[in-house]
Amino acid sequence: MKKTLATLAMLMASTGLAHAEGVLNLFNWGNYTSPELLAKFEAETGIKVTVTDYDSNDAALAKIEAGGHGFDLVVPSANYVPIFRDKGLITELDMSRLANHGNIAPEWVDVAWDPGRKFTVPWQWGSTGIAVNTSVYSGDINTSAVFLEVPDELKGKINVVPEMNDVVNLAIFYYGGEPCTEDVEVLKKVRDGLMAAKPNWISMDYGATEKLSNNDWAASVNWNGSTMRARLANPSVAYGYPKEGYPLFMDSVALLKDAQNVDNAYKFLDFILVPENAAMISAFARYANGVAGSDAFMPEDMKTAPEVVTPAEHKAAGKFLPTCSPKATEYMTAIWTELQK
């Protein structure tokens, strides 16, 4: 009897292990993961991917730091990768398990936030700018004045996405500072400018893709891919690149230190480095990716889209946000906290 029970226990344990080997838990930004990509991955590998959404880098970081989350992969932005790394939350990748690592485009390999791509692989990259319904406002949209000195036509009709690093740094650029500045004079202008502008905003909310499409909002601080999706539904929507300066971002996938499904995580990381698969990621969320050869598989409407292919005259104003110093973060957080009240 004991032998029978022991055998049964072993069978149950092995069944549980087999089940565990068939899953992967991805912690990613909301509305950012292609269902078609996941279906293809499951069909090819038998691995079922569960996606849990977050809406900010800070929310993702807090959840991972708290522990007990059960996630295997996370997708932080460039300026947060060093934070995840230095806190010991992500692990260095075993390149021998990533046959497609060489598909990362050369310009995205030796990046400041992850030299040599030892901890992450690219997901998508883009910019934060100004989305405007041009049937409501016909003025200059290539300026952060649209949300900091709101034109009469947009008062009570403009949203600001509640992403601290993007919003505060857009204001820092506007008032003549550099990202992550500790210059208190610039930061005072930023604080005063944001607080003065806020009464003219309709909201600080996500969901710009839908609400710009439906004419619920006439403008929003927004990301380029989301704005393209809105334009496809509402041709009056256009994307502005603030001439004072605007943030660039790249979100990359990292393997969490306490991942439970490591083998499956490596299979997924290698899978998304296949050009055709990387293009599926972009085709859904409408951002560029960092995989060489993926352009051949991209939707035709992305190859010339002004939100994806930055016009030459606006390229110089875009800058990747660095990882801020503790003092700069303290200043920004204080401004943001006041703005949320």
Q: With beta carbons less than 8 A apart as the criterion, state whether 268 and 41 touch.
A: yes
Structure-token pair, residue 301: 């409407």
**Residue 163 confidence (pLDDT):** 93
**If we measure between CA atoms, which residue out of 80, 83, 333, 341 comes closest to residue 187?**
333
Residue 222: what residue type?
N
List C-alpha distances in Å: 324 to 175, 178, 179, 320.
18, 11, 8, 12
Strand (E) positions, 55-119? Answer: 73-74
List C-alpha distances in Å: 1 to 9, 11, 14, 267, 312.
12, 15, 20, 41, 77
Residue with tokens 């497609």: 100
The CATH class given to the 2-125+250-303 domain equals alpha beta
Per-residue pLDDT of the chain (341 residues; tens, 9 = 90+): 333 334 434 443 333 333 346 999 999 999 999 999 999 999 999 999 999 999 999 999 999 999 999 999 999 999 999 999 999 999 999 999 999 999 999 999 999 999 999 999 999 999 999 999 999 999 999 999 999 999 999 999 999 999 999 999 999 999 999 999 999 999 999 999 999 999 999 999 999 999 999 999 999 999 999 999 999 999 999 999 999 999 999 999 999 999 999 999 999 999 999 999 999 999 999 999 999 999 999 999 999 999 999 999 999 999 999 999 999 999 999 999 999 99
Gap between the Cα atoms of 76 and 89, Å rounded: 12
Do the domains 2-125+250-303 and 126-248+310-340 sit in the same CATH topology, yes or no? yes
Q: With beta carbons less than 8 A apart as the criterion, state whether 132 and 240 touch.
A: yes
Domain 126-248+310-340 matching CATH 3.40.190.10: the answer reads yes
**Residue 10 confidence (pLDDT):** 42
| Count of Cβ atoms closer than 10 Å to residue 182 Cβ | 15
What are the domain boundaries of the chain? 2-125+250-303, 126-248+310-340
Please name the helix (run of DSSP H) or strand (run of DSSP E) that holds residue 326, with its range, or none. helix 326-340
Cβ neighbors of 128 (< 8 A, separation 6 or more) are: 161, 163, 166, 170, 221, 222, 223, 224, 246, 247, 249
Cβ neighbors of 23 (< 8 A, separation 6 or more) are: 47, 48, 49, 50, 261, 264
Q: With beta carbons less than 8 A apart as the criterion, state whether 119 and 76 touch.
A: no
